[in-house]
Amino acid sequence: MTTLDIRLRELRDGGRKALVPYFLGGLDDEWLECVKAAAFAGADAIEIGVPFSDPIMDGKVIQEASLRALGRGTTLTSVLEGLHTLDIDVPLIVMTYFNIFHHHGLERSAIELHEAGVLGTIVPDLSLEEIAPWRTVSNEHDVASILMTALSTPPERAMQLAAETQGFAYAAARMAVTGVASDEGRGDLVVEKLRQASTVPIYVGIGITTPEQAAAACAFADGAIVGSALVQRLLDGEGPKGVEQFLGEMRSAINAVGR
């Protein structure tokens, strides 16, 4: 098992539902302070997006944030250099597209991720059939590969993904790009498919917008991922204080599940 596997299973087995916020690395001068605020507010793992010019799974909010970060000269190297300065006891997960690692070099990418304290990656455009080279080199440096499962994923395929994912299984609650939503989607159907194949923790994402939606997801899953709703607040200039308030509300709602 990777370190991320161990830590997230211990979290789940201890009865705690996970809150996993997403930030876009290099968005502004305060992005690292926002990550620290998330840890203070009770995040259990933190996703850090590395901006890419053609983010195929991301909606308009994260696309806007990516363009803003790229305009500031953000790169994989600059994001990892920033993460290296953090002193927080929360697992860090990098989310980006495979071209970033391919261009940077797989071995070099894995080494630098590990040195920056990153415990896992999510690469949405890297299929199960193509992941072996990346997974082999990243595992050599204790960087887990987290796989996504969608509503449209056939049961047999979902079982394969559940068996191969590391750290947690990412259950996409809706057939859509990332973005805010008025309901929590049908993540329960994805979770049901994954539960049949593995005991890995399962976190629901894509469209989790409000504390109530996060709590609803955690009623059947092991955690909730919040991305666009948080990034929008940062685009609006709310900064670390806004992060702490919003995620504090998310944490309180999730903690109330099962009481």
Residues annotated as catalytic (active site), given as ranges: 47, 58
Cα 227 from Cα 225, distance rounded (Å)? 7
DSSP class per residue in the chain: --HHHHHHHHHHHTTPPEEEEEEETTSSTTHHHHHHHHHHHT-SSEEEEPP-S--TT--HHHHHHHHHHHHTT--HHHHHHHHHT---SS-EEEE--HHHHHHH-HHHHHHHHHHTTEEEEE-TT--GGG-HHHHHHHHTTT-EEE-EE-TTS-HHHHHHHHHH--S-EEEE-SSS-S---SS-TTHHHHHHHHHTT--S-EEEESS--SHHHHHHHHTTSSEEEE-HHHHHHHHTT-HHHHHHHHHHHHHHHHHTTT-
The encoded tokens of residue 187 equal 């993540």
Cα 103 from Cα 80, distance rounded (Å)? 16
Side-chain-facing half-sphere of 11: CA atoms under 13 Å: 25
